[in-house]
Amino acid sequence: MLARVGSLFIKMLVTAVLLPNYLGASLVGTYNYPLMFLAFFAGVCTLGTEGLVTRELLRKPHLKDVLLGSAFRLRLMGGLIALPLIYAAYFIVVNISPEPLAASFPQLAFVSLTCIIQAIQIIDSYFQSRAEGKYIMLVQVGGNIISVLFKALLIYLKAPIDYLIGSLFFDVLIIQLGYIAVYKKKGNSIFTWKYNSVVAKRLLLLGWPLALSTIFATIYLKIDQLMIGSMLGSTDLGVYSTVVQYSESWYFIPAAISAALFPAIMNYRIQDPILYYKRLSNLYELMAFISLSIAIIMTFITPTLFSLIYNKRPEFMQGIPVLQIHIWSGVFAFLSTANSQYLIAEGLTKISLYRTLFGAGSNILLNILLIPKYGILGAAYGTLIAYFITAFSVFIYPQSRQQGFAMLKGLFFAHSLQRFFTKKR
């Protein structure tokens, strides 16, 4: 995590400081549009294999080559299926949008090739299953640093926007090559992978709720940016997408903590159920503490931060109140990330799907109501409310209701306060 924070700082220096000051708000919207648009099809590309393959490798490590080979083939097929869907969706959005789209079709089409090469990233699941997160971090941190240096060079050379958009494909390619290199260094080879139709069908059967969940999660994560680009134009999209970077750049923290701690928490599931639920409560409190700390600090420092960074780009100043609202969405995103691990472990993937469906639907409705009246500030309020709905919609289902109360207690540090006052007495 410390390594990731270091690389994140370097990456933010380029994407949230140098690029906005070099391009301006309108072209920042153009730069961010392709990856934002492709994110809606991530579920189709991965077919829900990511966390699922990690779980299967934990249970059946002797089937490593079959599991990885079958998942790789599924992801490759998913990427090929996604491409025509992406292109069709782009032209549909072009025809229904009152404003011109921020990025052109050739720009989007080139970056969309990442849908195919992302299949290699299934190697990530192998290292997760072996609790060897340091190798994942080595690849991701190294890739981020190379990406940042390349973008900084393009900015120094005053490269046109097409070159910067092309670098987005380069970013993904470097990561995939890094995974192959580290996997090989550990004595493995992707050429020993084997496809098994029975295993592939099982992965597909188990993974489709997760794939749909990913699609709906992307909708409630990204639909605000898509609607801003279509309803308000590329300048407002550029400001809002810059704000989102400051807000969502912290979201790797709950993912990293959950991935690191949850296997240990799972050990108590059968041996000691009481301790299992106690550890889950501790995890929720940890998530609440970190996310609330980030939200409070960012709320107070944002005006000074934006004044220092964007003093030559006054159009970004309208992002100050937007970030001060949007940053609080992270509190519910942190809790949801931790709870998602529980839902997967307990086989409640359909609840995960329904939950993200609620979030997606509420975010779309809120954006339709709030963006025309309040602009990008309305989108921030819509996101905050949608994240809250998503996190606590687990109350609807009897199987997950207990975890809803646990998250609520974690948000108010109920267990820590109880221990504190017990010790006082």
How far is residue 382's CA from residue 218's CA, in Å, rounded to a whole number? 15
How far is residue 20's CA from residue 93's CA, in Å, rounded to a whole number? 25
DSSP string, 131-191: T-HHHHHHHHHHHHHHHHHHHHHHHHTT--HHHHHHHHHHHHHHHHHHHHHHHHHTT--GG
CA distances from 216 to 51, 105, 212, 309, 425 (A): 17, 24, 6, 34, 48
Query: Taking a C-beta distance cutoff of 8 angstroms, is the pair 203, 66 a contact?
Result: no
Query: Taking a C-beta distance cutoff of 8 angstroms, is the pair 172, 118 a contact?
Result: yes
Is residue 413 pLDDT above 90, yes or no? no
Query: Taking a C-beta distance cutoff of 8 angstroms, is the pair 242, 20 a contact?
Result: yes
Helices (H), 315-375: 319-326, 329-345, 349-374
Which is higher by pLDDT, 147 or 252? 147
Which among 56, 71, 173 has a CA at the least distance from the CA of 123?
71
Is residue 418 pLDDT above 80, yes or no? no
How far is residue 378's CA from residue 57's CA, in Å, rounded to a whole number? 44
How far is residue 155's CA from residue 163's CA, in Å, rounded to a whole number? 10
∠ CA 409-326-15 to the nearest 5 degrees?
125
CA atoms within 13 A on the CB side of 69: 16
Is residue 401 pLDDT above 80, yes or no? yes
Query: Taking a C-beta distance cutoff of 8 angstroms, is the pair 15, 21 a contact?
Result: no
Query: pLDDT category, 425, cuts 50, 70, 90?
Result: low
Span 98-135, pLDDT tens digits:
888 889 999 999 999 999 999 998 888 888 777 777 78
Q: Helices 161-185 and 133-156 sit at what angle, rounded to 10 degrees?
A: 150
Query: Per the structure block, which two tokens stand in for 305?
Result: 């931060």
Query: pLDDT category, 299, cuts 50, 70, 90?
Result: very high
Span 186-215, pLDDT tens digits:
888 999 999 989 888 888 887 777 787 778
Query: Per the structure block, which two tokens stand in for 388?
Result: 């809250």
Which pLDDT belongs to residue 132? Answer: 75
Q: What is the pTM of this model?
A: 0.81
